[in-house]
A and B are shown apart, each in its own frame.
Chain A
Amino acid sequence: MIKISKFTKNIIFYTLMFLLAFLFLFPSIWMVFSSFKPQAQLAGDISSWAALLPPLNIPISDWFIPYKEVFKRFDLIRAMGNSFFYAFSLLAINLFVTSMAAYALAKFKFPLRNFWLMMIIFILIIPVETNIVPLFVIVHRLGLENTLLGLLAPNIANAINIFLFRQFFLSIPKELEEAAVLDGANKLMIFFKVVMPLSKSIYATTAILTFILSWNDYIWPVLIFADNKKMPLQVILNVLNNTEPVYINQVLAALTVATIPIMIIYAVFQKYIVEGVSHTGIK
Protein backbone atom coordinates (compact mmCIF):
# COMPACT_ATOMS: atom_id res chain seq x y z
CA MET A 1 0.00 0.00 0.00
CA ILE A 2 1.29 3.39 -0.91
CA LYS A 3 1.59 5.74 1.99
CA ILE A 4 -0.35 8.91 1.31
CA SER A 5 0.72 11.98 3.18
CA LYS A 6 -1.76 13.58 5.56
CA PHE A 7 -1.78 16.70 3.42
CA THR A 8 -2.84 14.84 0.26
CA LYS A 9 -5.42 12.93 2.24
CA ASN A 10 -6.87 16.21 3.45
CA ILE A 11 -7.02 17.63 -0.03
CA ILE A 12 -8.88 14.61 -1.33
CA PHE A 13 -11.23 14.61 1.64
CA TYR A 14 -12.14 18.28 1.36
CA THR A 15 -12.53 18.13 -2.40
CA LEU A 16 -15.01 15.31 -1.98
CA MET A 17 -16.78 17.16 0.81
CA PHE A 18 -17.19 20.28 -1.30
CA LEU A 19 -18.47 18.20 -4.18
CA LEU A 20 -21.00 16.63 -1.87
CA ALA A 21 -22.03 20.01 -0.50
CA PHE A 22 -22.41 21.26 -4.05
CA LEU A 23 -24.69 18.31 -4.82
CA PHE A 24 -27.05 19.51 -2.12
CA LEU A 25 -26.71 23.20 -2.77
CA PHE A 26 -26.89 23.60 -6.52
CA PRO A 27 -30.66 23.65 -7.01
CA SER A 28 -30.93 26.49 -4.52
CA ILE A 29 -28.09 28.28 -6.26
CA TRP A 30 -29.81 27.79 -9.57
CA MET A 31 -33.11 29.06 -8.20
CA VAL A 32 -31.64 32.26 -6.79
CA PHE A 33 -29.34 33.11 -9.68
CA SER A 34 -31.92 32.31 -12.32
CA SER A 35 -34.38 34.62 -10.64
CA PHE A 36 -31.99 37.48 -11.50
CA LYS A 37 -31.89 36.65 -15.20
CA PRO A 38 -34.05 37.80 -18.07
CA GLN A 39 -36.33 35.07 -19.40
CA ALA A 40 -34.32 34.42 -22.58
CA GLN A 41 -30.98 34.21 -20.80
CA LEU A 42 -32.43 31.83 -18.24
CA ALA A 43 -33.61 29.49 -20.99
CA GLY A 44 -30.33 29.80 -22.89
CA ASP A 45 -28.21 29.06 -19.83
CA ILE A 46 -30.14 26.03 -18.67
CA SER A 47 -28.06 23.41 -20.46
CA SER A 48 -24.66 24.75 -19.45
CA TRP A 49 -22.70 25.63 -16.34
CA ALA A 50 -23.81 29.23 -16.82
CA ALA A 51 -27.05 28.09 -15.22
CA LEU A 52 -25.26 28.11 -11.87
CA LEU A 53 -23.75 31.55 -12.25
CA PRO A 54 -25.36 34.91 -11.65
CA PRO A 55 -26.01 37.02 -14.76
CA LEU A 56 -22.64 38.77 -14.74
CA ASN A 57 -23.28 40.36 -18.12
CA ILE A 58 -25.99 42.68 -16.82
CA PRO A 59 -25.64 45.41 -14.18
CA ILE A 60 -26.62 44.41 -10.66
CA SER A 61 -29.31 47.07 -10.59
CA ASP A 62 -31.12 45.08 -13.31
CA TRP A 63 -30.97 41.80 -11.41
CA PHE A 64 -34.10 42.65 -9.51
CA ILE A 65 -36.26 43.40 -12.53
CA PRO A 66 -38.08 40.03 -12.31
CA TYR A 67 -38.76 40.78 -8.65
CA LYS A 68 -40.17 44.20 -9.45
CA GLU A 69 -42.31 42.75 -12.24
CA VAL A 70 -43.76 39.95 -10.17
CA PHE A 71 -44.51 42.24 -7.25
CA LYS A 72 -46.29 44.53 -9.68
CA ARG A 73 -48.46 41.71 -11.02
CA PHE A 74 -49.31 40.07 -7.72
CA ASP A 75 -49.77 41.42 -4.24
CA LEU A 76 -47.15 39.17 -2.68
CA ILE A 77 -46.64 41.45 0.29
CA ARG A 78 -50.26 41.11 1.36
CA ALA A 79 -50.17 37.35 0.78
CA MET A 80 -47.00 37.04 2.81
CA GLY A 81 -48.50 39.13 5.61
CA ASN A 82 -51.48 36.77 5.63
CA SER A 83 -49.21 33.75 5.75
CA PHE A 84 -47.30 35.13 8.73
CA PHE A 85 -50.49 36.05 10.53
CA TYR A 86 -52.01 32.58 10.04
CA ALA A 87 -48.80 30.83 11.00
CA PHE A 88 -48.33 32.78 14.22
CA SER A 89 -52.00 32.47 15.19
CA LEU A 90 -51.75 28.72 14.71
CA LEU A 91 -48.52 28.55 16.69
CA ALA A 92 -50.04 30.38 19.64
CA ILE A 93 -52.98 27.99 19.98
CA ASN A 94 -51.43 24.80 18.71
CA LEU A 95 -48.36 24.69 20.95
CA PHE A 96 -50.44 25.34 24.04
CA VAL A 97 -53.10 22.76 23.23
CA THR A 98 -50.80 20.00 22.00
CA SER A 99 -48.19 20.31 24.76
CA MET A 100 -50.85 20.15 27.49
CA ALA A 101 -52.32 17.04 25.94
CA ALA A 102 -48.90 15.49 25.49
CA TYR A 103 -48.05 16.16 29.11
CA ALA A 104 -51.14 14.33 30.29
CA LEU A 105 -50.34 11.43 27.99
CA ALA A 106 -46.76 11.28 29.19
CA LYS A 107 -47.04 11.77 32.91
CA PHE A 108 -50.55 10.90 34.08
CA LYS A 109 -52.17 7.54 34.59
CA PHE A 110 -55.80 7.47 33.55
CA PRO A 111 -58.32 5.26 31.79
CA LEU A 112 -58.16 5.06 27.98
CA ARG A 113 -54.70 6.56 27.85
CA ASN A 114 -53.40 3.88 25.49
CA PHE A 115 -56.47 4.21 23.34
CA TRP A 116 -55.84 7.92 22.79
CA LEU A 117 -52.20 7.20 22.10
CA MET A 118 -53.05 4.65 19.45
CA MET A 119 -55.52 7.06 17.94
CA ILE A 120 -52.84 9.72 17.65
CA ILE A 121 -50.42 7.35 15.93
CA PHE A 122 -53.21 6.27 13.64
CA ILE A 123 -54.06 9.86 12.69
CA LEU A 124 -50.40 10.50 12.03
CA ILE A 125 -50.53 8.04 9.18
CA ILE A 126 -53.83 8.84 7.50
CA PRO A 127 -53.29 11.46 4.80
CA VAL A 128 -55.47 14.55 5.20
CA GLU A 129 -56.08 14.68 1.46
CA THR A 130 -58.52 11.78 1.64
CA ASN A 131 -60.93 13.39 4.10
CA ILE A 132 -61.17 16.93 2.93
CA VAL A 133 -64.83 16.88 1.85
CA PRO A 134 -66.33 15.66 5.15
CA LEU A 135 -64.01 18.05 6.94
CA PHE A 136 -65.38 20.93 4.92
CA VAL A 137 -68.95 19.86 5.63
CA ILE A 138 -68.24 19.88 9.35
CA VAL A 139 -66.57 23.28 9.27
CA HIS A 140 -69.47 24.62 7.24
CA ARG A 141 -72.03 23.16 9.67
CA LEU A 142 -70.29 24.87 12.53
CA GLY A 143 -70.47 28.17 10.67
CA LEU A 144 -66.70 28.52 10.54
CA GLU A 145 -66.36 29.25 6.85
CA ASN A 146 -64.49 32.46 6.09
CA THR A 147 -63.21 32.59 9.66
CA LEU A 148 -59.73 32.36 11.10
CA LEU A 149 -60.84 29.56 13.41
CA GLY A 150 -62.14 27.60 10.44
CA LEU A 151 -58.76 27.89 8.78
CA LEU A 152 -56.83 26.87 11.87
CA ALA A 153 -59.18 24.25 13.34
CA PRO A 154 -57.93 21.15 11.48
CA ASN A 155 -54.32 21.91 12.43
CA ILE A 156 -54.83 22.94 16.05
CA ALA A 157 -54.52 19.52 17.64
CA ASN A 158 -52.16 17.96 15.12
CA ALA A 159 -50.95 14.51 15.99
CA ILE A 160 -47.28 14.93 15.14
CA ASN A 161 -46.83 17.71 17.69
CA ILE A 162 -48.57 15.77 20.45
CA PHE A 163 -46.38 12.83 19.57
CA LEU A 164 -43.14 14.85 19.64
CA PHE A 165 -44.04 16.66 22.87
CA ARG A 166 -44.92 13.39 24.56
CA GLN A 167 -41.67 11.75 23.53
CA PHE A 168 -39.83 14.72 25.01
CA PHE A 169 -41.79 14.88 28.26
CA LEU A 170 -41.14 11.19 28.81
CA SER A 171 -37.44 11.99 28.97
CA ILE A 172 -37.83 14.52 31.80
CA PRO A 173 -36.72 12.76 34.96
CA LYS A 174 -39.45 12.09 37.52
CA GLU A 175 -37.23 13.43 40.28
CA LEU A 176 -37.57 16.98 39.03
CA GLU A 177 -41.31 16.89 39.29
CA GLU A 178 -41.26 15.03 42.56
CA ALA A 179 -39.09 17.73 44.02
CA ALA A 180 -41.64 20.30 42.98
CA VAL A 181 -44.43 18.25 44.55
CA LEU A 182 -42.56 18.29 47.83
CA ASP A 183 -42.46 22.07 47.53
CA GLY A 184 -46.24 21.98 47.46
CA ALA A 185 -46.80 22.71 43.77
CA ASN A 186 -49.75 21.01 42.11
CA LYS A 187 -49.60 19.32 38.72
CA LEU A 188 -50.82 22.35 36.86
CA MET A 189 -48.16 24.54 38.40
CA ILE A 190 -45.53 21.92 37.75
CA PHE A 191 -46.41 21.99 34.09
CA PHE A 192 -46.13 25.74 33.79
CA LYS A 193 -43.32 26.39 36.24
CA VAL A 194 -41.11 23.34 35.85
CA VAL A 195 -41.83 21.45 32.66
CA MET A 196 -42.36 24.31 30.21
CA PRO A 197 -39.10 26.13 31.01
CA LEU A 198 -37.23 22.83 30.71
CA SER A 199 -38.75 22.19 27.31
CA LYS A 200 -37.72 25.26 25.33
CA SER A 201 -35.97 23.18 22.73
CA ILE A 202 -38.94 20.94 21.93
CA TYR A 203 -41.20 24.00 21.77
CA ALA A 204 -38.77 25.44 19.25
CA THR A 205 -38.78 22.23 17.21
CA THR A 206 -42.56 21.92 17.08
CA ALA A 207 -42.89 25.66 16.49
CA ILE A 208 -40.75 25.36 13.39
CA LEU A 209 -42.56 22.28 12.11
CA THR A 210 -45.93 23.94 12.72
CA PHE A 211 -44.82 27.14 11.08
CA ILE A 212 -43.78 25.22 7.99
CA LEU A 213 -47.01 23.20 7.99
CA SER A 214 -49.02 26.40 8.03
CA TRP A 215 -46.74 28.18 5.58
CA ASN A 216 -47.00 25.40 2.98
CA ASP A 217 -50.73 24.68 3.20
CA TYR A 218 -52.74 25.66 0.17
CA ILE A 219 -55.79 23.52 -0.56
CA TRP A 220 -57.57 24.26 2.70
CA PRO A 221 -57.29 28.08 2.55
CA VAL A 222 -58.83 28.08 -0.93
CA LEU A 223 -61.80 26.08 0.33
CA ILE A 224 -62.33 28.00 3.50
CA PHE A 225 -61.94 31.55 2.19
CA ALA A 226 -63.93 33.17 -0.57
CA ASP A 227 -61.96 36.37 -0.56
CA ASN A 228 -58.77 36.58 -2.57
CA LYS A 229 -57.47 39.20 -0.15
CA LYS A 230 -57.31 36.63 2.61
CA MET A 231 -55.28 34.09 0.64
CA PRO A 232 -51.86 33.09 1.94
CA LEU A 233 -48.67 33.12 -0.09
CA GLN A 234 -48.74 29.47 -1.24
CA VAL A 235 -52.08 29.98 -2.94
CA ILE A 236 -50.79 33.05 -4.76
CA LEU A 237 -47.64 31.15 -5.77
CA ASN A 238 -49.77 28.46 -7.33
CA VAL A 239 -51.81 31.08 -9.16
CA LEU A 240 -48.64 32.69 -10.38
CA ASN A 241 -47.30 29.37 -11.62
CA ASN A 242 -50.53 28.73 -13.53
CA THR A 243 -51.34 32.17 -14.91
CA GLU A 244 -50.39 32.68 -18.52
CA PRO A 245 -47.99 34.11 -19.38
CA VAL A 246 -45.77 32.13 -17.01
CA TYR A 247 -42.37 33.76 -16.74
CA ILE A 248 -40.01 31.30 -15.11
CA ASN A 249 -37.73 34.03 -13.79
CA GLN A 250 -40.65 35.70 -12.04
CA VAL A 251 -41.82 32.36 -10.63
CA LEU A 252 -38.33 31.72 -9.30
CA ALA A 253 -38.18 35.23 -7.85
CA ALA A 254 -41.42 34.56 -6.00
CA LEU A 255 -40.20 31.16 -4.85
CA THR A 256 -36.99 32.71 -3.56
CA VAL A 257 -38.98 35.29 -1.64
CA ALA A 258 -41.22 32.54 -0.26
CA THR A 259 -38.25 30.48 0.90
CA ILE A 260 -36.43 33.27 2.70
CA PRO A 261 -38.63 33.33 5.85
CA ILE A 262 -38.22 29.60 6.37
CA MET A 263 -34.49 29.91 5.81
CA ILE A 264 -34.23 32.65 8.43
CA ILE A 265 -36.25 30.65 10.92
CA TYR A 266 -34.06 27.59 10.51
CA ALA A 267 -30.93 29.67 10.81
CA VAL A 268 -32.09 31.37 13.99
CA PHE A 269 -33.41 28.27 15.70
CA GLN A 270 -30.78 25.85 14.43
CA LYS A 271 -29.43 25.15 17.92
CA TYR A 272 -32.87 24.29 19.30
CA ILE A 273 -33.75 21.96 16.45
CA VAL A 274 -30.85 19.67 17.27
CA GLU A 275 -31.56 19.76 21.00
CA GLY A 276 -35.27 19.21 20.68
CA VAL A 277 -34.96 16.52 18.11
CA SER A 278 -32.31 14.67 20.08
CA HIS A 279 -34.68 13.98 22.94
CA THR A 280 -37.64 12.98 20.81
CA GLY A 281 -35.61 10.64 18.73
CA ILE A 282 -33.61 8.89 21.36
CA LYS A 283 -36.24 8.06 23.89
Chain B
Amino acid sequence: MEMKKLFGKYKLKETLLAYAFLAPALIFMLIFIVAPIIASLSFSFTDYYLLKPNEIDFIGLENFKYILEDNLVWLSFLNTFKFIIMVIPLQVGTALGLALLINKKIKFNLFFKVSFFSPVVMSLVVMSILWMVLLNPQSGLINAVLTSLGFEKQPFLTSTTQALPTIVVASAWQGAGYQMMIFLAGLKNIPEMLYEAAGIDGANKWKQFLYITLPSLRNVTVFVMITTLIGAFKLIIQPMVMTSGGPKNSTLTIVYYIFQTGVRYRNVGYASAITLIFTLIVTVFVMMQRRFLKEED
Protein backbone atom coordinates (compact mmCIF):
# COMPACT_ATOMS: atom_id res chain seq x y z
CA MET B 1 0.00 0.00 0.00
CA GLU B 2 2.64 2.41 1.03
CA MET B 3 5.05 1.21 -1.63
CA LYS B 4 2.48 1.88 -4.26
CA LYS B 5 1.95 5.36 -2.99
CA LEU B 6 5.66 5.90 -2.84
CA PHE B 7 6.19 4.92 -6.43
CA GLY B 8 3.09 6.65 -7.61
CA LYS B 9 4.94 9.93 -7.90
CA TYR B 10 7.94 8.42 -9.65
CA LYS B 11 8.71 6.59 -12.85
CA LEU B 12 10.13 3.14 -12.21
CA LYS B 13 12.67 3.34 -15.01
CA GLU B 14 13.97 6.68 -13.84
CA THR B 15 14.18 5.43 -10.26
CA LEU B 16 16.18 2.38 -11.29
CA LEU B 17 18.53 4.43 -13.40
CA ALA B 18 18.99 6.96 -10.64
CA TYR B 19 19.96 4.27 -8.18
CA ALA B 20 22.32 2.77 -10.73
CA PHE B 21 24.04 6.16 -10.90
CA LEU B 22 24.00 6.50 -7.14
CA ALA B 23 24.97 2.97 -6.21
CA PRO B 24 28.78 3.20 -6.22
CA ALA B 25 28.75 6.38 -4.16
CA LEU B 26 26.09 5.10 -1.78
CA ILE B 27 27.94 1.86 -1.15
CA PHE B 28 31.18 3.61 -0.28
CA MET B 29 29.40 6.28 1.69
CA LEU B 30 27.30 3.93 3.79
CA ILE B 31 30.14 1.56 4.59
CA PHE B 32 33.02 3.96 5.11
CA ILE B 33 31.38 7.15 6.29
CA VAL B 34 27.88 6.63 7.63
CA ALA B 35 28.51 3.33 9.39
CA PRO B 36 31.47 4.68 11.39
CA ILE B 37 29.49 7.78 12.34
CA ILE B 38 26.53 5.77 13.57
CA ALA B 39 28.75 3.25 15.30
CA SER B 40 30.58 5.94 17.15
CA LEU B 41 27.37 7.71 18.08
CA SER B 42 26.04 4.47 19.49
CA PHE B 43 29.15 4.28 21.68
CA SER B 44 27.90 7.34 23.53
CA PHE B 45 25.74 5.09 25.70
CA THR B 46 28.68 2.84 26.59
CA ASP B 47 31.84 3.02 28.67
CA TYR B 48 34.01 2.06 25.68
CA TYR B 49 37.66 2.57 26.68
CA LEU B 50 39.95 2.50 23.68
CA LEU B 51 42.32 -0.11 25.06
CA LYS B 52 39.56 -2.44 26.27
CA PRO B 53 37.52 -3.12 23.16
CA ASN B 54 36.26 -6.39 24.62
CA GLU B 55 34.69 -4.91 27.71
CA ILE B 56 32.16 -2.46 26.37
CA ASP B 57 29.22 -2.03 28.75
CA PHE B 58 25.99 -0.17 28.21
CA ILE B 59 25.80 2.58 30.82
CA GLY B 60 22.71 4.48 29.74
CA LEU B 61 22.95 8.21 30.18
CA GLU B 62 26.01 8.23 32.48
CA ASN B 63 28.17 9.99 29.89
CA PHE B 64 25.61 12.71 29.43
CA LYS B 65 25.40 13.32 33.16
CA TYR B 66 29.15 13.62 33.12
CA ILE B 67 29.00 16.23 30.36
CA LEU B 68 26.89 18.44 32.61
CA GLU B 69 29.68 18.48 35.19
CA ASP B 70 32.52 18.84 32.71
CA ASN B 71 33.49 22.50 32.48
CA LEU B 72 35.77 21.83 29.54
CA VAL B 73 32.85 20.75 27.35
CA TRP B 74 31.08 24.04 27.87
CA LEU B 75 34.26 26.06 27.64
CA SER B 76 35.16 24.41 24.34
CA PHE B 77 31.67 25.01 22.93
CA LEU B 78 31.94 28.62 23.98
CA ASN B 79 35.37 28.96 22.36
CA THR B 80 34.05 27.41 19.15
CA PHE B 81 31.15 29.86 19.02
CA LYS B 82 33.46 32.78 19.75
CA PHE B 83 35.64 31.62 16.88
CA ILE B 84 32.65 31.33 14.54
CA ILE B 85 31.34 34.76 15.44
CA MET B 86 34.71 36.38 14.85
CA VAL B 87 35.92 34.47 11.82
CA ILE B 88 32.83 34.66 9.61
CA PRO B 89 32.62 38.46 9.29
CA LEU B 90 36.39 38.83 9.13
CA GLN B 91 37.06 36.15 6.55
CA VAL B 92 34.02 36.79 4.36
CA GLY B 93 34.52 40.54 4.61
CA THR B 94 38.18 40.26 3.67
CA ALA B 95 37.37 37.97 0.77
CA LEU B 96 34.71 40.34 -0.57
CA GLY B 97 36.98 43.36 -0.13
CA LEU B 98 39.83 41.71 -1.98
CA ALA B 99 37.51 40.61 -4.77
CA LEU B 100 36.17 44.15 -5.20
CA LEU B 101 39.72 45.54 -5.33
CA ILE B 102 40.83 43.04 -7.95
CA ASN B 103 37.67 43.22 -10.02
CA LYS B 104 38.58 46.75 -11.13
CA LYS B 105 40.77 47.05 -14.15
CA ILE B 106 44.03 47.79 -12.41
CA LYS B 107 47.67 47.24 -13.22
CA PHE B 108 49.49 44.21 -11.85
CA ASN B 109 46.10 42.53 -11.48
CA LEU B 110 47.53 39.03 -11.82
CA PHE B 111 50.27 39.72 -9.28
CA PHE B 112 47.74 40.89 -6.69
CA LYS B 113 45.47 37.95 -7.35
CA VAL B 114 48.31 35.48 -6.94
CA SER B 115 49.50 37.25 -3.77
CA PHE B 116 46.10 37.17 -2.09
CA PHE B 117 45.65 33.58 -3.14
CA SER B 118 49.10 32.37 -2.06
CA PRO B 119 48.18 31.39 1.55
CA VAL B 120 45.55 28.98 0.20
CA VAL B 121 48.30 26.88 -1.30
CA MET B 122 49.75 26.07 2.10
CA SER B 123 48.35 23.24 4.13
CA LEU B 124 46.82 24.13 7.49
CA VAL B 125 49.71 22.50 9.32
CA VAL B 126 52.31 24.41 7.35
CA MET B 127 50.41 27.66 7.81
CA SER B 128 50.09 27.08 11.55
CA ILE B 129 53.78 26.35 12.04
CA LEU B 130 54.72 29.42 10.04
CA TRP B 131 52.53 31.75 12.09
CA MET B 132 53.77 30.22 15.29
CA VAL B 133 57.33 31.16 14.42
CA LEU B 134 56.36 34.59 13.15
CA LEU B 135 54.23 35.34 16.23
CA ASN B 136 56.76 34.26 18.82
CA PRO B 137 56.43 37.01 21.44
CA GLN B 138 60.17 37.37 22.05
CA SER B 139 61.88 36.53 18.80
CA GLY B 140 59.12 36.63 16.20
CA LEU B 141 59.19 38.85 13.16
CA ILE B 142 55.79 40.41 13.89
CA ASN B 143 56.88 41.80 17.23
CA ALA B 144 60.15 42.96 15.73
CA VAL B 145 58.13 44.96 13.22
CA LEU B 146 55.81 46.28 15.92
CA THR B 147 58.67 47.51 18.10
CA SER B 148 60.41 49.11 15.14
CA LEU B 149 57.18 51.01 14.46
CA GLY B 150 57.06 52.15 18.07
CA PHE B 151 54.39 49.77 19.35
CA GLU B 152 54.69 47.51 22.34
CA LYS B 153 55.43 43.80 22.00
CA GLN B 154 52.29 41.67 22.04
CA PRO B 155 51.99 38.22 23.63
CA PHE B 156 49.72 36.88 20.83
CA LEU B 157 49.35 33.10 21.19
CA THR B 158 50.68 33.11 24.75
CA SER B 159 47.93 35.33 26.12
CA THR B 160 44.61 34.00 27.30
CA THR B 161 42.79 36.91 25.70
CA GLN B 162 44.75 37.26 22.47
CA ALA B 163 45.28 33.61 21.50
CA LEU B 164 41.84 32.92 20.04
CA PRO B 165 41.60 36.20 18.10
CA THR B 166 45.10 35.51 16.77
CA ILE B 167 43.96 32.12 15.48
CA VAL B 168 40.92 33.84 13.94
CA VAL B 169 43.15 36.25 12.04
CA ALA B 170 45.53 33.50 10.89
CA SER B 171 42.61 31.36 9.70
CA ALA B 172 40.92 34.21 7.87
CA TRP B 173 44.25 35.15 6.33
CA GLN B 174 44.60 31.65 4.99
CA GLY B 175 41.04 31.10 3.81
CA ALA B 176 40.15 34.49 2.34
CA GLY B 177 42.00 33.97 -0.93
CA TYR B 178 39.91 31.02 -2.03
CA GLN B 179 36.67 32.79 -1.21
CA MET B 180 37.91 35.89 -3.00
CA MET B 181 37.92 33.74 -6.15
CA ILE B 182 34.29 32.78 -5.54
CA PHE B 183 33.28 36.41 -5.06
CA LEU B 184 35.25 37.35 -8.13
CA ALA B 185 33.28 34.83 -10.16
CA GLY B 186 30.08 36.25 -8.70
CA LEU B 187 31.09 39.82 -9.56
CA LYS B 188 31.85 38.84 -13.16
CA ASN B 189 28.30 37.56 -13.49
CA ILE B 190 26.65 40.88 -12.65
CA PRO B 191 25.51 42.39 -15.95
CA GLU B 192 27.36 45.61 -16.79
CA MET B 193 24.01 47.05 -17.92
CA LEU B 194 22.80 47.38 -14.36
CA TYR B 195 25.64 49.71 -13.47
CA GLU B 196 25.26 51.70 -16.66
CA ALA B 197 21.58 52.22 -15.94
CA ALA B 198 22.37 53.24 -12.39
CA GLY B 199 25.03 55.62 -13.65
CA ILE B 200 22.48 57.34 -15.86
CA ASP B 201 20.12 57.62 -12.91
CA GLY B 202 22.89 59.43 -11.06
CA ALA B 203 23.58 56.81 -8.36
CA ASN B 204 27.07 57.21 -6.91
CA LYS B 205 29.57 54.36 -6.49
CA TRP B 206 28.53 53.66 -2.93
CA LYS B 207 24.85 53.50 -3.83
CA GLN B 208 25.67 51.22 -6.76
CA PHE B 209 27.53 48.93 -4.43
CA LEU B 210 24.71 48.95 -1.93
CA TYR B 211 21.83 48.49 -4.37
CA ILE B 212 23.36 46.49 -7.20
CA THR B 213 26.54 44.67 -6.14
CA LEU B 214 25.48 43.44 -2.74
CA PRO B 215 22.03 42.11 -3.71
CA SER B 216 23.51 40.40 -6.76
CA LEU B 217 26.06 38.67 -4.59
CA ARG B 218 23.50 37.46 -2.08
CA ASN B 219 23.63 33.80 -3.07
CA VAL B 220 27.39 33.78 -3.34
CA THR B 221 27.67 35.35 0.09
CA VAL B 222 25.35 32.80 1.64
CA PHE B 223 27.35 30.00 0.05
CA VAL B 224 30.63 31.42 1.28
CA MET B 225 29.26 31.99 4.76
CA ILE B 226 27.96 28.46 5.04
CA THR B 227 31.22 26.89 3.92
CA THR B 228 33.05 29.11 6.40
CA LEU B 229 30.61 28.09 9.12
CA ILE B 230 31.16 24.41 8.42
CA GLY B 231 34.91 24.85 8.45
CA ALA B 232 34.75 26.91 11.65
CA PHE B 233 32.73 24.27 13.46
CA LYS B 234 35.46 21.74 12.75
CA LEU B 235 38.35 23.93 13.89
CA ILE B 236 41.07 21.69 15.28
CA ILE B 237 44.38 21.88 13.41
CA GLN B 238 45.25 25.51 14.16
CA PRO B 239 44.83 25.28 17.96
CA MET B 240 46.39 21.82 17.97
CA VAL B 241 49.56 23.02 16.26
CA MET B 242 49.76 26.62 17.49
CA THR B 243 48.64 26.49 21.12
CA SER B 244 47.71 22.90 22.08
CA GLY B 245 44.43 24.45 23.20
CA GLY B 246 46.09 26.81 25.66
CA PRO B 247 46.97 29.01 27.32
CA LYS B 248 44.61 27.94 30.07
CA ASN B 249 42.28 26.22 27.58
CA SER B 250 41.43 29.53 25.94
CA THR B 251 41.74 27.98 22.46
CA LEU B 252 40.29 24.56 23.23
CA THR B 253 37.64 23.94 20.57
CA ILE B 254 34.92 21.33 20.72
CA VAL B 255 36.32 19.06 18.02
CA TYR B 256 39.76 19.32 19.58
CA TYR B 257 38.34 18.38 22.97
CA ILE B 258 36.50 15.42 21.44
CA PHE B 259 39.75 14.35 19.83
CA GLN B 260 41.65 14.66 23.12
CA THR B 261 39.01 12.75 25.05
CA GLY B 262 38.83 9.93 22.56
CA VAL B 263 42.48 9.61 21.61
CA ARG B 264 44.57 10.99 24.46
CA TYR B 265 42.31 9.94 27.35
CA ARG B 266 41.07 6.95 25.33
CA ASN B 267 37.50 7.45 26.60
CA VAL B 268 35.78 6.65 23.33
CA GLY B 269 32.36 6.33 24.97
CA TYR B 270 32.54 9.76 26.53
CA ALA B 271 33.98 11.34 23.41
CA SER B 272 31.07 9.88 21.44
CA ALA B 273 28.61 11.41 23.86
CA ILE B 274 30.11 14.85 23.31
CA THR B 275 30.08 14.17 19.58
CA LEU B 276 26.38 13.38 19.80
CA ILE B 277 25.66 16.73 21.43
CA PHE B 278 27.86 18.44 18.88
CA THR B 279 26.04 16.64 16.08
CA LEU B 280 22.67 17.74 17.40
CA ILE B 281 23.75 21.36 17.47
CA VAL B 282 25.19 21.10 13.99
CA THR B 283 21.98 19.50 12.74
CA VAL B 284 20.06 22.55 13.87
CA PHE B 285 22.31 24.63 11.65
CA VAL B 286 21.78 22.22 8.77
CA MET B 287 18.04 22.55 9.13
CA MET B 288 18.44 26.31 9.08
CA GLN B 289 20.22 26.18 5.76
CA ARG B 290 17.73 23.83 4.13
CA ARG B 291 16.05 26.71 2.44
CA PHE B 292 19.28 27.42 0.65
CA LEU B 293 19.52 23.88 -0.68
CA LYS B 294 15.99 23.57 -1.97
CA GLU B 295 16.20 23.90 -5.70
CA GLU B 296 13.37 25.35 -7.71
CA ASP B 297 11.87 22.53 -9.73
Give the B-binding residues of A (Cβ under 8 A). 13-14, 17, 20-22, 24-25, 27-28, 30-31, 46-48, 51-52, 96-98, 100-101, 103-106, 108-111, 113, 116-127, 129-135, 137-139, 142, 153-154, 156-157, 159, 162, 170, 187-188, 191, 212, 215-216, 234, 237-238, 241, 248, 255, 258-259, 262-263, 266, 273-275, 277-278, 280-283
Contacts and interface: CB of A to CB of B under 8 A. Distances in A.
B255 A281 contact: no
A24 B116 contact: yes
Given A101-B24, A170-B295, A110 B18 contact: yes
Interface centre among B11, B101, B118, B124 (most CB of A within 10 A): B118
Interface string B10-21: 110011011101
Contacts of B34: 119, 123
B67 interface: no
A142 B194 CA distance: 59
A191 B20 CA distance: 13
A17 B122 contact: no
Interface stretch (B68-76, B199-207, B229-237): B229-237
Contacts of B230: 124-125
A156 B32 contact: yes
Given A98-B25, A108-B17, 13 more contacts: A17-B108, A20-B112, A21-B116, A24-B115, A24-B118, A104-B22, A110-B10, A118-B286, A121-B293, A131-B39, A278-B188, A281-B219, A283-B219
Interface stretch (B84-92, B129-137, B157-165, B243-251): B129-137
Q: Which 10 A-B pairs have the closest CB atoms?
A: A278-B185, A101-B25, A21-B115, A104-B21, A108-B18, A157-B28, A131-B36, A134-B39, A135-B36, A110-B15
Interface of B: 6-7, 9-11, 14-15, 17-19, 21-22, 24-29, 31-37, 39-40, 43, 50, 98, 101, 106-108, 111-112, 115-127, 129-131, 133-134, 136, 139-141, 143-144, 173, 177, 181-182, 184-186, 188-189, 219-220, 223-224, 230, 233-234, 236, 255, 258-259, 262, 268, 271-272, 275, 279, 282-283, 285-286, 289, 293, 295
A276 to B, nearest CB: 9
A244 B108 CA distance: 44
B182 A17 contact: no
Contacts of B186: 278, 281-282
Interface centre among A22, A47, A124, A266 (most CB of B within 10 A): A47
Say whether chain B's binding surface is mostly helix, strand, loop, or mixed. helix
Contact of A17 (B29, B106, B271): B106
A104 B143 CA distance: 54
Given A21-B116, A104-B18, A134-B40, A154 B224 contact: no
B279 A126 contact: yes
Interface centre among A122, A281, A282 (most CB of B within 10 A): A281
B50 A157 contact: no
Interface centre among B39, B98, B177, B236 (most CB of A within 10 A): B39
A129 B236 contact: yes
Contact of A274 (B25, B28, B112, B184): B184
Contacts of A131: 36-37, 39-40
A27 B220 contact: no
A51 B40 contact: no
A241 B139 CA distance: 20
B106 A130 contact: no
Contacts of B26: 101, 116, 157
B107 to A, nearest CB: 7
B132 to A, nearest CB: 11
Contacts of A118: 286
A24 B122 contact: no
Contacts of B285: 125
Contact of A101 (B22, B43, B295): B22
A137 B32 CA distance: 10
Contacts of B272: 130
Contacts of A188: 17
Contacts of B134: 27, 30
A133 B143 CA distance: 42
27 contacts: A20-B98, A28-B118, A30-B141, A31-B126, A46-B139, A46-B140, A101-B21, A104-B19, A108-B15, A108-B17, A110-B18, A110-B19, A111-B15, A119-B34, A121-B286, A121-B293, A125-B233, A131-B37, A137-B39, A138-B36, A156-B25, A157-B25, A157-B28, A157-B33, A241-B129, A278-B186, A281-B224
Contacts of B36: 131-132, 134-135, 138
